[in-house]
A and B are shown apart, each in its own frame.
Chain A
């Protein structure tokens, strides 16, 4: 999968204590900014975007959020995975007045690149696959998550 090129074990937070979407954004921003992957404007931009156009997705057995913001705030693209210790509130993409309790977060720091459609389709493939999501939710450490992702077969 192409997405594997964008997922780095250093950008996976497994079993982390976070209370809100802001906690998550700050966590990822701190590291991404320090390492030059995210621009200074990223944090405000993603907070504002999530408020205006939320990214919580309700699936049958779990909820997932895919926060992201404009490409101009990202210097080097990556996908961060955050698995909180307890569910975190995100609003529903489909209905911004409905709060969802989210189990797993894929933060997409993407640029408008050629392989973007493929990467996004893979994200959708992952979140729709109950076995994969449950494996991620039950993983003990980051390597476990990487292993699960590496085992996913390409759709084509």
Chain B
């Protein structure tokens, strides 16, 4: 079973995605996913790699077409509704893992 391939995107690929990726990694570890790769990326690079992703988190709205789940995680930056967002990220990751086949 391959690694869970997670992309975290923001405008520059280095600022808000860095903060968001750090929080997402905590959740990934918390739910016991051991084989994963978190890639930080810019929104402009996203369309060219999105087909290889299992799940994508962004701090900007992604307008492109996509078949993989994409979720906005701005609350990780503002702290507003952060707990609710963590819960949603957890649920989404668990669902993605289930669809991928359990690779814990």
A residues adjacent to B (C-beta < 8 A)? 49, 52-55, 57-60, 66, 68-71, 93-96, 108, 110, 112, 116-117, 120-121, 124, 127-128
Contact = CB atoms under 8 A, between A and B. Distances in A.
A46 to B, nearest CB: 10
Mostly helix, strand, loop or mixed at chain B's interface?
Answer: loop
A94 B15 contact: no
B78 to A, nearest CB: 5
Nearest to A120: B19
A50 to B, nearest CB: 8
Interface of B: 10-12, 14-16, 18-19, 22, 42-44, 59-61, 72, 74, 77-80
B14 A93 contact: no
A124 B12 contact: no
B14 A57 contact: no
B76 to A, nearest CB: 8
Contact of A110 (B15, B61, B78, B79): B15
A96 B63 CA distance: 11
A71 B78 CA distance: 23
Given A59-B80, A124-B79, A94 B72 contact: yes
B85 to A, nearest CB: 11
Most chain B C-beta atoms within 10 Å of own C-beta, residue among A53, A66, A116, A127: A53
Contacts of B15: 66, 68, 108, 110, 120
Nearest to B75: A94
A94 B78 CA distance: 11
Contacts of A53: 10-12, 43, 60
Given A68-B12, A93-B59, A96-B60, A116 B18 contact: yes
A59 B14 CA distance: 22
A155 to B, nearest CB: 12
A110 B59 contact: no
Contacts of A54: 60
